[in-house]
Structure 1
Amino acid sequence: MHMEIPSLLAAGLILLGIFSLGFLSIKIKFPNVILYIIFGIILAGALHHNELLHFASEIGIVLLFFLLGLEFNISRLSGIARKIWPAGLLDVALNLGIVMVICYFFDLDLFTSFLIGGVAYATSSSITAKLLDDTGRMANREAEYILGILIFEDLVAPIVVAVLMGITTGGDFTSIDFLILFGKIIALTVGAILLSKTLFKKFEAFLDKISDEDFKIALLVGIALAYGGLALYLGLSEVLGAFLAGMMLAEMSKIEKVEHTVHPVKNLFLPTFFIYFGTTVEFGEGVPMVSFLVVLLIWSVVAKILVGVIGGRMYGLSNRVSFRAGLSICARGEFSVVIASLATGVIKVFAGVYIILAAFIGMVLFQQAPAITNKIYGKPKKKKKNLKVPGVY
């Protein structure tokens, strides 16, 4: 007998669960993101397709990327874009193209191969960004490269989703459809730049005039959700829209004014994204195609490390920093879930199992990336200061 849980009770239990798991993660020094996903899997039967949880998770992921966008003004973003495209194309070739070749050797048809390639392609933007923030590595040299790769993937992944949706709905995804989709991405980006240079040019002075913190929350969260929602309306990713919304305000001299207001709201809602992600993973009656799963997981790790090592060198990073970056981008997540939802039957179960294992492996590798790098390249040597004692030569 199925008992319907009142939304208010469900919300209270989820928040208490977030507190308990967050507290536990501090005590046992274990990534809270993994605990949230496992929590979601456990509650999948009661919360699957829960609209309240889904909506809260959307707010959390939008605010995370809104705050990330604040770190990238137009000049910095354009500089990254000029440097990141070779590594971005390498990422597509290794994680989408080669995966399709692997699928071919396991006798999968073209559509299924493309779908699994899409699932395996994109690094989880939310998991990676959250771990960068939690571990204090946002200021490291590889952080800019990692974020550049994530942005590149957030531009490519919606195209993959659109093509798959066009095929699954029985329609033909033509070159015209591709150009329209690309045009939407350009229009959304140009719109953000124009708003940054016009409407939001004196936004900092306007924000200083608002003394009530509640009104500031409504204004700033409203901007993030509106532009993220506009991206969704155009058939793009809300993550891309939220990032561009943050970029619109990045010209402010003191972005901490925005961060101080939005951070608490983001911290409240973001864990719900990972819980919701867990509720979407359906293991079914068992794990299908185990040998293929093992091969795919191994290649998924190897491919991302290569994107870090080779792409990082293209970007101008050292061997050490490039390797550390590669270990930090192995987790799969939200886009993989979106693409996997287009699958059916055994392939959907397979994709669900792959996503949760890839997310877990990726998060462990992220946590261990500095230690693994030090074991391979040795601990970085501290630069000795050449101090001269007066009178001594």
Structure 2
Amino acid sequence: MPTDIPALLGAGLLLLLIFYLGFLSIKIKFPNVILFILLGIGLTKLMDDSELLHFASEIGIVLLFFLLGLEFNISRLGGIAKRILPAGLLDVVLSLGVTTGIALLFGLSLYLSFLIGGIAYATSSSITAKLLDDRGRMANRETEFMLAILIFEDLFAPLIVAILIGIHSGEEVTGYMFLILFGKIVGLALLAILLGKTLFKRFESFLDRIDDEEFKIALLIGIALAYGGLALYLGLSEVLGAFLAGMMLAEVGKIEKIDQTVFPVRDLMLPLFFVYFGTTIKLGDGVPMAWMLAVVVLWSVISKVLVGVWGGPMFGLSKRASLRGGLSLCARGEFSVVIASVATGTMKVFSGLFIVAAAFIGMLLFEQASNVTNKIYGKPEKKKKRLKVPGN
């Protein structure tokens, strides 16, 4: 008998496990994302460095943000960009700057301290967006603020990665490097705007002429993957590229046609991202620098809550919506994993433990965000509908 499990058998068993955990999460009322990540951690030795799983997970995360981008046309995104800048900079100071300072106080070098600050900086775009969708909170007042923060972080995080990789490889980090990176981001966004205003201006009528659903799936997913892949080719985040691809097609107007086509593929592939995410976390033996780990995890939660509480009003939110938004931004994820890949030895184990702890605590806080907000500010009053009486 062959010792290696055929890829087809492995894929079938993995999908059955995902089904079981999804079904279990409904029964026990527990976030399915946490169960998928735990499954990935449990399968680390079996599926470590699986290219097939990695590729499938990339498709899932790209389609998630492609569909999110559809909700933001160019004019809406431009208005949000102006309003999110103060809160975005506050996020950089609290999550990156203060965390770096905490690590310095524990005696780490400036490089290692900045590494920990980078790992603690970015909220998990995938986990947060998935939970917003699962819990039906896309229409909430704070959701636009949260998505704007996620996109701001996805624009800023590549700068952190560039600095760390540059120092790690011995290269000199220069202003020219930052200028090139900034130029790539601006160029990718401008190209999306140009294509949205020209090539995709009459895309709706073109879609209506495609009767075969299979060809329509190939076209839409091809656009999402191609633009996400272009972002990766430029050294940026595929999440950013996918979001911009969705923004291009948001000019179509009736996005329901696109949603209906892409949703089933996204729902199939997205759980694989969280399983893959779990396989990338190396826990090791023991808890290195336990006290610092506890402090950094605690501050990682406090910093995001403060970003919501202080940054939300800057964006125009009420105190209630701001607190709910801050409590929902605490999960760390994919960018933390990317930055942690630069770490070695004990620091890699430390990073893995932090990511697991911050992801789980963040997801649990997301689930309880509305309850905590109601306990502090009271339950919101339901507006009474006035019934119009004929003749009055």
Q: How far apart are 1:170 and its partner, in Å?
A: 1.2
Identify the residue that residue 281 of structure 1 maps to in structure 2: 281
Q: How far apart are 1:372 and its partner, in Å?
A: 0.6
**Contact 2:204–2:252 (8 Å) recurs in 1:** yes
| Amino acid of the structure 2 residue aligned with 1:354 | F
Q: How far apart are 1:10 and its partner, in Å?
A: 1.6
- SS of the equivalent of 2:154 reads helix
Task: Please give the alpha-carbon distance, in whole angstroms, between the structure 2 residues aligned to 1:320 and 1:193.
Answer: 34
Identify the residue that residue 344 of structure 2 maps to in structure 1: 344
Task: Please give the alpha-carbon distance, in whole angstroms, between the structure 2 residues aligned to 1:216 and 1:391.
Answer: 52
Q: How far apart are 1:6 and its partner, in Å?
A: 2.1
Matches within 5 A, 1:123-142: 123-142=123-142
Given the superposition, is the C-alpha separation of residues 204 and 116 from structure 1 closer, same or farther in structure 2, using an over 3 Å criterion?
Answer: same
Identify the residue that residue 249 of structure 1 maps to in structure 2: 249
Identify the residue that residue 151 of structure 1 maps to in structure 2: 151
Identify the residue that residue 51 of structure 1 maps to in structure 2: 51
Task: Please give the alpha-carbon distance, in whole angstroms, between the structure 2 residues aligned to 1:384 and 1:19.
Answer: 41
> 1:160 aligned to 2:160?
yes
- SS of the equivalent of 2:215 reads helix
- Identical columns (%): 70
Identify the residue that residue 179 of structure 1 maps to in structure 2: 179
Q: Deviations over 1:144-180 (max 9, x none)?
A: 0000000000000111111111111111121000000
Task: Please give the alpha-carbon distance, in whole angstroms, between the structure 2 residues aligned to 1:319 and 1:53.
Answer: 42
Q: How far apart are 1:382 and its partner, in Å?
A: 2.0
Given the superposition, is the C-alpha separation of residues 212 and 177 from structure 1 closer, same or farther in structure 2, using an over 3 Å criterion?
Answer: same
Task: Please give the alpha-carbon distance, in whole angstroms, between the structure 2 residues aligned to 1:225 and 1:391.
Answer: 58
**Contact 2:200–2:252 (8 Å) recurs in 1:** no
Task: Please give the alpha-carbon distance, in whole angstroms, between the structure 1 residues aligned to 2:116 and 2:375.
Answer: 34
| Amino acid of the structure 1 residue aligned with 2:230 | L
Q: How far apart are 1:4 and its partner, in Å?
A: 3.1
Structure 2 residue ranges without an equivalent (≥5): none
Q: How far apart are 1:3 and its partner, in Å?
A: 4.4
Matches within 5 A, 1:275-354: 275-354=275-354
- SS of the equivalent of 1:266 reads helix
Task: Please give the alpha-carbon distance, in whole angstroms, between the structure 2 residues aligned to 1:382 and 1:174.
Answer: 55
- SS of the equivalent of 1:286 reads coil
Task: Report the more deviating stretch, 8-17 or 238-247.
Answer: 8-17
Matches within 5 A, 1:373-388: 373-384=373-384
Q: How far apart are 1:108 and its partner, in Å?
A: 0.5
Task: Please give the alpha-carbon distance, in whole angstroms, between the structure 1 residues aligned to 2:67 and 2:354.
Answer: 29
Task: Please give the alpha-carbon distance, in whole angstroms, between the structure 2 residues aligned to 1:330 and 1:244.
Answer: 24
| Amino acid of the structure 1 residue aligned with 2:351 | A
- SS of the equivalent of 1:356 reads helix
Q: How far apart are 1:384 and its partner, in Å?
A: 3.8
> 1:65 aligned to 2:65?
yes
Q: How far apart are 1:98 and its partner, in Å?
A: 0.1
| Amino acid of the structure 1 residue aligned with 2:162 | A
> 1:79 aligned to 2:79?
yes
| Amino acid of the structure 1 residue aligned with 2:25 | S
- SS of the equivalent of 2:251 reads coil
Q: How far apart are 1:383 and its partner, in Å?
A: 2.9
| Amino acid of the structure 2 residue aligned with 1:184 | K
TM-score, reference length from structure 2? 0.98
> 1:95 aligned to 2:95?
yes
**Contact 2:62–2:238 (8 Å) recurs in 1:** yes
Task: Report the more deviating stretch, 280-289 or 140-149.
Answer: 280-289
Q: Deviations over 1:46-77 (max 9, x none)?
A: 00111000001100000000000000000000
Runs of 4+ residues over 6 Å off in structure 1: 386-392
Q: How far apart are 1:285 and its partner, in Å?
A: 1.2
Matches within 5 A, 1:182-221: 182-221=182-221
Given the superposition, is the C-alpha separation of residues 145 and 364 from structure 1 closer, same or farther in structure 2, using an over 3 Å criterion?
Answer: same
| Amino acid of the structure 2 residue aligned with 1:24 | L
Task: Please give the alpha-carbon distance, in whole angstroms, between the structure 1 residues aligned to 2:370 and 2:42.
Answer: 32
Task: Please give the alpha-carbon distance, in whole angstroms, between the structure 2 residues aligned to 1:387 and 1:199.
Answer: 48
Task: Please give the alpha-carbon distance, in whole angstroms, between the structure 2 residues aligned to 1:26 and 1:357.
Answer: 23
Given the superposition, is the C-alpha separation of residues 391 and 233 from structure 1 closer, same or farther in structure 2, using an over 3 Å criterion?
Answer: closer
Given the superposition, is the C-alpha separation of residues 214 and 104 from structure 1 closer, same or farther in structure 2, using an over 3 Å criterion?
Answer: same
Identify the residue that residue 31 of structure 1 maps to in structure 2: 31
Structure 1 residue ranges without an equivalent (≥5): none
- SS of the equivalent of 1:282 reads coil
- SS of the equivalent of 1:251 reads helix
Q: How far apart are 1:389 and its partner, in Å?
A: 8.6
Task: Please give the alpha-carbon distance, in whole angstroms, between the structure 2 residues aligned to 1:259 and 1:368.
Answer: 29
| Amino acid of the structure 2 residue aligned with 1:241 | G
Q: How far apart are 1:17 and its partner, in Å?
A: 1.0
Task: Please give the alpha-carbon distance, in whole angstroms, between the structure 2 residues aligned to 1:200 and 1:234.
Answer: 23
Q: How far apart are 1:110 and its partner, in Å?
A: 0.7
Task: Please give the alpha-carbon distance, in whole angstroms, between the structure 1 residues aligned to 2:79 and 2:104.
Answer: 38
Task: Please give the alpha-carbon distance, in whole angstroms, between the structure 1 residues aligned to 2:210 and 2:327.
Answer: 44
Q: Deviations over 1:20-53 (max 9, x none)?
A: 1111111111100000000000000000111000
Task: Report the more deviating stretch, 316-325 or 166-175.
Answer: 166-175
TM-score, reference length from structure 1? 0.97
> 1:258 aligned to 2:258?
yes
Q: How far apart are 1:11 and its partner, in Å?
A: 1.0
Task: Report the more deviating stretch, 266-275 or 160-169.
Answer: 160-169
- SS of the equivalent of 2:250 reads coil
- SS of the equivalent of 1:112 reads helix
| Amino acid of the structure 2 residue aligned with 1:300 | S
Q: RMSD across aligned C-alpha pairs, in angstroms?
A: 1.5
